């Protein structure tokens, strides 16, 4: 009997913890930019549709064949024009996906939005 | 629960259990091939870049290898369940339904990947609707598990708790991973990333529960000691594992700007793994003596190698859960080393132990005849895997150094070439070792059983 009680206690704690994580625990970033901009939403859809996560990472999630993109937008070595060049023509490892100009702008908007949320990255980088 | 009973009885579900087994090793074989192609794409960037790019090889590799893990565990369960209760499975047609659903879904996923239809989520890179069909395939499996076994949890051994937990949490975590389809999650990048790390971290725990349950069952049958997995200590470690399944996923999200307490909880829970590590070290001499004593048994040998990988991977897991180190290791091949150690070193060794235990019961003579071949496969796999694992760690360290020097990505990739070559070539040897094991399984299954 104690085993069943331990299991149920853990399970209830897990359920409550999940709710708290998905509400208060992840509230720190405002989602208003995402709501307001169709370009950001389209950019995210394209990012998923082309499975960019397979080679690139956002917050460390994804493959390692391509560079991490969380702070690519504000990175002095990369930035908007550098990313646009890759999106237009591909690279040594990246296929040319033949994105339209609008699609490239949308993806850049999404990556710019992700960059604005990366406060922990930037704090650690400064330290 | 007599360990010797397995020798003589056969059940109507055995045939389909064997089909699940062949399906599982087909997933493994294809998954390994895709992994090798992916490896070569690291050292020869133009290799298949425009037709089967890394955008396709990685999700195919990940999907097939992960599916090998739970399909092999399911094959074992369909074989073991009737033997535990001494009666046929509750719903035989359900087992066939599960088989055809799983096979159809896999074919659809592979076609989608080749055609370039993606969902773009980590691990679950296929279009989201397919996730519903994966869940549907698990329904007859769950019905058969619970209705065949009708577990009495007051007296059940820990492996039945482990299997039950694995099934329950697979349903929970796969459903949870699709929360991103709801605006509340999709519109907030932090929540969106957290859903992926949290759901997938726990999902890995769910199939680990299935695999560990299977390994414990096989261990009980080999040793004949029915008290082994009913002891308070066994349950202590089960609940410790369950707590980690539920709460330690946060160590992947130290860098995500979620609330600080999410990280604190994850860190504290992750450090409880030190107890498991301590337990392994404490029992090391005893385990070594038992391993030497039972080295002639193929399943035991595989279980022992699984133990070595648990030890190595646990040290790595604890190290990368320390926030100060996680900052450097996160997003490098050190995380991949941990994943490969877990999926090949631990899960694949434990599952092959179950596979050989099953086929040995079915055809002991053919298994005995292939013993040398199997032994060679085990040794090649484990030595090559150690080199592969070290090369991934090396590649991770190279990335850390490169990041510290603020070098561009291109320079990092150039400097890491020797590590990439090492992990690709050792990966090929891991493939050869596992291919020997796969071929042995198929040869034993095909061998005609001597009449008794």
Query: In terms of C-beta density within 10 A (0-12 exposed, 13-18 middle, 19 or more buried), how is residue B128 classed?
Result: middle
For residue B337, being part of any structural domain is answered with yes
Is B100's Cβ below 8 Å from some Cβ in A?
no
Interchain CB distance below 8 Å, B55 and A50: yes
Residue A62 belongs to what H/E stretch?
strand A61-62
Interchain CB distance below 8 Å, A60 and B198: no
Check residue A68 and report its DSSP letter: B
Q: What is the CATH number of the domain that holds B351?
A: 1.20.210.10
Question: Chain B, 175-204: which have a CB under 8 Å from a chain A CB?
Answer: 176, 179, 184-191, 193-198
Which of A4, A49, A120 comes nearest B256 by C-beta? A120
- What's CA B377's distance to the chain center, in Å? 19
Summarised one tens digit per residue, pLDDT across range A83-111 is 999 999 999 899 999 999 999 999 999 99
Residue B284 belongs to what H/E stretch?
helix B284-293
pLDDT (0 to 100) of residue B47: 85
pLDDT band at B5 (very low <50, low <70, confident <90, very high): very low
pLDDT (0 to 100) of residue B83: 95
Give the least confident one: A116-120, B71-75, B166-170, B448-452. B448-452
- Report the C-alpha gap between B396 and A31 in whole angstroms: 33
Residue B282 pLDDT more than 90?
no
Residue B451 pLDDT more than 70?
no
- Report the C-alpha gap between B427 and B31 in whole angstroms: 12
Angle (CA) B359-B144-B70 rounded to 5° is: 55
Residue B437 pLDDT more than 90?
yes
- ipTM, 2 dp: 0.92
Please name which of B172, B168, B169, B62 lies closest in space to residue B124, comparing C-alpha atoms. B62
Distance from CA of B267 to the nearest CA of A (A): 15
Please name which of B225, B229, B209, B210 lies closest in space to residue B157, comparing C-alpha atoms. B229
For residue B309, being part of any structural domain is answered with yes
Q: Tokens in use for B184?
A: 């509340």
User: Domain of B366?
Assistant: 272-452
Query: In terms of C-beta density within 10 A (0-12 exposed, 13-18 middle, 19 or more buried), how is residue A31 classed?
Result: buried
HSE-CB for B277 with a 13 A CA cutoff: 14
pLDDT (0 to 100) of residue B4: 43
Summarised one tens digit per residue, pLDDT across range B304-331 is 999 999 999 999 999 999 999 998 999 9
Contact B37, B48 (CB under 8 A): yes
pLDDT (0 to 100) of residue A33: 74
Which of B125, B243, B409 comes nearest A10 by C-beta? B243
Q: Which residue has the higher pLDDT, B48 or B405?
A: B405
Interchain CB distance below 8 Å, A10 and B239: yes
Residue B23 pLDDT more than 50?
yes
pLDDT (0 to 100) of residue B56: 95
Please count the structural domains in chain B: 1
Please name which of B397, B277, B383 lies closest in space to residue B335, comparing C-alpha atoms. B397
Which of A62, A95, A124 comes nearest B122 by C-beta? A62
pLDDT (0 to 100) of residue A125: 56
- With a CB cutoff of 8 Å and minimum separation 6, the contacts of B131 are B119, B124, B174, B177, B178
Summarised one tens digit per residue, pLDDT across range B189-213 is 999 999 999 999 999 999 999 999 9
Question: Chain A, 9-28: which have a CB under 8 Å from a chain B CB?
Answer: 10, 13-14, 17-18, 21-22, 24-28
- Report the C-alpha gap between B364 and B378 in whole angstroms: 19
Q: What is the overall mean pLDDT for chain B? A: 93
For residue B431, being part of any structural domain is answered with yes
Average of pLDDT values for B340-356? Answer: 97
Phi, psi of A65 (to 5 degrees): -70, -30
For residue B146, being part of any structural domain is answered with no
For residue B343, being part of any structural domain is answered with yes
Summarised one tens digit per residue, pLDDT across range B154-174 is 999 999 999 999 999 999 999
Question: Chain A, 21-60: which have a CB under 8 Å from a chain B CB?
Answer: 21-22, 24-29, 31, 34-35, 44, 47-55, 57-60
For residue B255, being part of any structural domain is answered with no
Distance from CA of B243 to the nearest CA of A (A): 7
Query: Long-range contacts of range B176-185, CB-CB < 8 Å, 24 or more positions apart?
Result: B176/A18, B176/B202, B177/B121, B177/B123, B177/B124, B177/B131, B177/B203, B178/B128, B178/B131, B179/A22, B180/B121, B181/B128, B184/A22, B185/A22
Distance from CA of A81 to the nearest CA of B (A): 16
Which chain B residues have a beta carbon less than 8 Å from that of A64? 331-333, 336, 399
pLDDT band at B7 (very low <50, low <70, confident <90, very high): very low
Please name which of A107, A98, A51, A103 lies closest in space to residue B128, comparing C-alpha atoms. A51
Regions of chain A short of the pLDDT cut 70: 1, 28-32, 122-127
For residue B59, being part of any structural domain is answered with no
- Report the C-alpha gap between B182 and B197 in whole angstroms: 17
Contact B65, B27 (CB under 8 A): yes
For residue B131, being part of any structural domain is answered with no
Residue B3 pLDDT more than 60?
no
């Amino acid at each position: 009997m104690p085993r069943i009680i331990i299991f149920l206690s853990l399970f209830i704690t897990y359920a409550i913890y999940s709710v708290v994580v998905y509400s208060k625990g992840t509230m720190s970033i405002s989602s208003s930019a995402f709501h307001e901009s169709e370009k950001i939403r389209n950019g995210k859809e394209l990012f998923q549709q082309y499975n960019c996560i397979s080679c690139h990472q956002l917050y460390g999630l994804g493959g390692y064949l391509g560079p991490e993109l969380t702070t690519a937008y504000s990175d002095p070595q990369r930035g908007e024009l550098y990313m646009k060049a890759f999106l237009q023509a591909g690279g040594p490892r990246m296929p040319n996906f033949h994105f339209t100009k609008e699609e490239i702008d949308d993806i850049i908007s999404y990556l710019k939005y992700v960059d604005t949320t990366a406060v922990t990255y930037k704090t650690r980088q400064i330290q | 629960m007599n360990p010797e009973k397995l020798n003589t009885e056969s059940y109507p579900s055995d045939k389909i259990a064997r089909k699940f087994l062949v399906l599982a090793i087909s997933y493994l074989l294809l998954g390994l091939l895709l992994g090798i192609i992916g490896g070569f794409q690291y050292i020869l960037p133009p290799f298949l870049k425009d037709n089967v790019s890394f955008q396709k090889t990685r999700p195919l590799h990940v999907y097939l290898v992960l599916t090998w893990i739970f399909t092999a565990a399911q094959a074992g369960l369909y074989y073991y369940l009737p033997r535990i209760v001494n009666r046929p499975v509750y719903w035989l047609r359900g087992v066939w339904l599960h088989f055809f659903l799983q096979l159809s879904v896999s074919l659809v996923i592979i076609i989608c990947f080749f055609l370039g239809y993606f969902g773009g989520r980590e691990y679950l890179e296929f279009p989201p609707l397919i996730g519903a069909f994966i869940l549907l395939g698990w329904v007859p499996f769950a019905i058969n598990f619970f209705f065949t076994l009708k577990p009495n949890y007051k007296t059940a051994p820990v492996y039945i708790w482990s299997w039950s937990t694995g099934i329950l949490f697979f349903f929970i975590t796969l459903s949870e991973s699709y929360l991103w389809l709801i605006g509340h999650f999709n519109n907030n990048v932090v929540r969106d990333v957290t859903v992926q790390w949290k759901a997938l971290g726990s999902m890995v725990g769910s199939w680990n529960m299935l695999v560990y349950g299977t390994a414990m069952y096989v261990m009980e049958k080999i040793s004949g000691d029915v008290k082994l997995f009913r002891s308070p200590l066994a349950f202590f470690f089960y609940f410790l594992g369950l707590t980690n399944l539920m709460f330690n996923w946060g160590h992947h999200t130290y860098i995500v700007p979620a609330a600080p307490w999410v990280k604190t909880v994850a860190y504290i829970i992750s450090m409880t793994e030190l107890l498991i590590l301590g337990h392994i070290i404490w029992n090391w001499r005893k385990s070594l003596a038992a391993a030497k004593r039972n080295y002639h048994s193929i399943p035991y040998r595989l279980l022992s190698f699984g133990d070595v990988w648990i030890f190595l991977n646990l040290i790595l897991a604890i190290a990368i859960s320390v926030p100060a180190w996680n900052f450097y290791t996160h997003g490098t091949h050190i995380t991949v080393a941990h994943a490969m150690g877990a999926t090949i070193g631990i899960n694949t060794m434990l599952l092959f132990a179950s596979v050989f235990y099953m086929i040995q019961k079915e055809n002991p003579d053919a298994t005995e005849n292939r013993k040398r071949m199997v032994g060679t496969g085990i040794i090649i796999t484990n030595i090559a895997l150690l080199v592969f694992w070290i090369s991934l760690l090396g590649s991770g360290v190279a990335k850390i150094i490169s990041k510290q020097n603020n070098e561009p990505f291109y320079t990092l990739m150039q400097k890491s070439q020797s590590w990439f070559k090492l992990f690709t070539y050792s990966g090929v040897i891991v493939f050869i070792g596992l291919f020997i094991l796969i071929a042995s399984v198929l040869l034993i299954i095909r061998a005609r059983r001597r009449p008794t």
